Amino acid sequence: MAEEDGCSSMTEPQLEAGETAADGMMSIADSISCDSGQNKTDKVDLESNVELEEDVRDFNWRQEDVVRQELFQNEDDDDDDDGDSGTAYFNPDMAGTRLQRAERIGDASLPDTFQTNELLYYERFKAYQDYMLGDCKTSEVKAFTADYLEKVLEPCDWQAQWCTDVFDVLVEVVDVNYKALKAQVKLVVPLQCETRGCELTEEAMNTLLEATLHKVPLQELRVVFDESGDFDQTALALEHLRFFYKHIWRQWDDEDEDDDFDYFVRCVEPRLRLFYDILEDRVPAGLVAEYYSLLARCSQKFQEFSSLRNGISSDSESELDNVSMVEGLRMYEQMEALKRKLRIIENPLLRYVLGYKVNSGQQSCRAKGPRASGGRMVHVVSVSTTVSQLQSLMADKLGPKFSGEEFEVQFHSEPLLAVSACYEGDVVIVLPGHYNVTSSISIPDSISVEGFGLPDEVVIEKKNKGDSFVESTGADVKISNVKFIQHDAIEGILCVRQGKLEMENCVLQCETTGVIVRTSAHLTMNMCDLYGSKGAGVEIYPGSVCSMVGNGIHHCKEGILIKDFADEMDTMPKITMVNNVIHNNEGYGVILVKPSDAAAAQGEAAQEDTPSDEQLDKEEGKEEMKGEGTLQVDVPVIVVDDCSVKEPVSYSSCYVVPPEFTEGNDAIKKELVATSAKKQRRQKSRLKELGVTQADDNLLSQEMFVSIQDNQFRRNGMGSFGTFLY
């Protein structure tokens, strides 16, 4: 009898508000199994079956309610107490709103709205991934969005501001068309509105609504603030919708050929991450400007392409339509090239290794040139100094080197002020001290910056954020005996954009990125110590010249990063690396970033079909079979010229270095030469396609000065040398 009571008590599932659907099903399954066991010996109790059916119906009703509540609830109940405002997934049982009020500035006749535009990255990420888009394909985005809005939005009887560029007006929503992403509204009487540059009456507004059939886009609605919390989910859903179509969705996404892939992973996540990286000043200003410029150009090109495509008749064979089709193909290729550049910037990894193929476009200070009087200035930097320091300065520096009549002396309290006052040929002497600067140091003229003492005694530290710390664009700049400490520089502790920079006996303490050598720039770096970069210690771009002798590069993510691009017109950099010690880096000591064969072919095929390397090999073999002898291919030459290095330091004369520490030298030389040779063969093929049978030697000159020897690679996480294919 006890068993009987126990079984009958289990036939009624006790579903709490927080009980999951699985728990409820288990409870009913247990009750059914218990009933079946009892009925083995007794007759079927019809009354119990009726009770069971009622329990099942009750469970189904409760299950729908639980699922609806769980949709807007945090997965972890502990998260509800963290005090975050603006999240869409909170406990609906809590009384009152958890969103902030957005107080209106201006016309007080309009009510306040919800503050929803300051959501955090993870809040938007969670909304799009878990609730709005999930794992949908590109073609399913609109359907998934409509389904999400149907579950979340209040269907009617809520007030909102209809916000446009011309006016903001208070309306009431009477119905929602989820698939069209529009709401049917009526004007709230008396009229409450705020206009910009025009005047609107109640009659004029009603006329406008009649013209639109009283339907307005959901993205233009902002929910009126309500303390009850009943419209929090509606306000957040509209914010997610508005943000998605403003910052994530692109006009051309609908026509994406990769429709089989997860749209969130492929497009939403990288674009959302880029938006917040820009918002939090993690992307250089020049790259941000380049991205938005590419986005505008791609949008314009897409509109032109769509207009041209819609004007072509599918069954027409007229000459005009044929011309339009050719023009359309050309526009399509241009648009694909722009989209590829956008994807590079949107991808965090490719943005780091490829995002600055060209100069960022940042406006550097313009060079002043020599003084009109022809004189030169020695700028002495010191906050305060002693008589003995001045005597040493006169005896050791000013007297022997700058005693001529053309030199004058100026005193400054900050290095930035001294550099800003320089003309071509001036000298800046920084006395021992710790100098804090708040903005970037730009060096547009050929000047010399010298620390009067050891590097640890002459320290220049940058405190706040900026694209770069030191930026050199002068024709011949020299920096020596200075320690630079970097904080929050996005682009690097030192960037050589153009011209030549010679560094000697300097210490570079990085926090984000290290030294960057742009295309056509020239860096000579001798006896320096660089460490702490979260990226590469030194980034070398195509077409640059980089000479590094006797340096230490350590405790960075990568030691030295050499960049190559798919464009065959980008020449490999000319590199000298002698007696450097590259150690204790997280990744490789030296890494070469280059396109895979498929990426290179894609980049070149954006304009014309370009033969692959295998095809080039076959063509070269055919030419050899024609009896012309060995094919003359201008393979890049490795030039090891120690004479170009001023008094190279020979560590090998002091002690014997184990071979495993130096084996990376040959691997680096071999890879650089092979990459340059492949690029030159593509150049030759392209010229041949253009009908250039005999090219100018200077046009195809790809001699690469590579002097890589006696470098030591110690305790680098992934080895001495590696390649990254994109």
Chain segment 311-321, per-residue pLDDT in tens: 776 666 666 66
Strands of the 458-462 sheet, one edge to the other: 433-437, 458-462, 483-485, 507-509, 529-531, 552-554, 581-583, 712-714
Describe the crossing of helices 613-623 and 664-689 by its angle, rounded to 10 degrees: 70
Question: Are the CB atoms for 299 and 251 separated by under 8 Å?
Answer: yes
d(CA 395, CA 401): 10
- For residues 214 and 621, which has the higher predicted lDDT (pLDDT)? 214
Cβ-based neighbours of 99, under 8 Å, separated by 6 or more: 85, 86, 114, 115, 116, 225, 232, 235, 236
Residue 421 DSSP class = T
d(CA 446, CA 444): 7
Mapping DSSP onto H, E and C, the string for 507-526 reads EEECCCCCEEECCCCEEEEE
| Start-end of H helices in 624-663 | none
- For residues 22 and 440, which has the higher predicted lDDT (pLDDT)? 440
What is the residue-averaged pLDDT of the chain? Answer: 76
48-65 burial, b for 16+ CB within 10 Å, e for fewer? beebbeebeeebeebbee
Mean pLDDT for the stretch of residues 398-412: 86
The candidate with the shortest Cα–Cα distance to 726, out of 563, 541, 512, is 563
Mean pLDDT for the stretch of residues 623-640: 38
Cis check: omega of the bond before 13, within 30 degrees of 0: no
DSSP string of 430-449, one letter each residue: EPSEEEEESS-EEE-S--EE
Describe the crossing of helices 597-605 and 664-689 by its angle, rounded to 10 degrees: 30
Secondary structure class of 197 (helix, strand, coil)? coil
Q: Helix, strand, coil: what percent of the chain each, to 5? A: 40, 20, 40
Q: Give the confidence band of 658 by pLDDT, cuts at 50, 70, 90.
A: low
d(CA 10, CA 7): 5
Question: Are the CB atoms for 359 and 286 separated by under 8 Å?
Answer: yes
d(CA 553, CA 24): 62
Cβ-based neighbours of 313, under 8 Å, separated by 6 or more: 321
Question: Are the CB atoms for 160 and 182 separated by under 8 Å?
Answer: no
Chain segment 502-522, per-residue pLDDT in tens: 999 999 999 878 999 988 899
Q: Half-sphere exposure (CA, 13 Å, Cβ side) for 136?
A: 20
Q: Give the confidence band of 58 by pLDDT, cuts at 50, 70, 90.
A: low
pLDDT of 378 > 60? The answer is yes
CA angle 308, 346, 303 (to 5 degrees): 10
Query: Out of 99-113, 557-571, 594-608, which region has the weakest mean confidence (pLDDT)?
Result: 594-608
- For residues 691 and 591, which has the higher predicted lDDT (pLDDT)? 591
pLDDT of 305 > 80? The answer is yes
d(CA 524, CA 478): 9
- Length of the chain (residues): 726
Question: Are the CB atoms for 225 and 113 separated by under 8 Å?
Answer: yes
d(CA 225, CA 223): 6
**pLDDT of res. 377:** 92
Q: Give the confidence band of 38 by pLDDT, cuts at 50, 70, 90.
A: very low
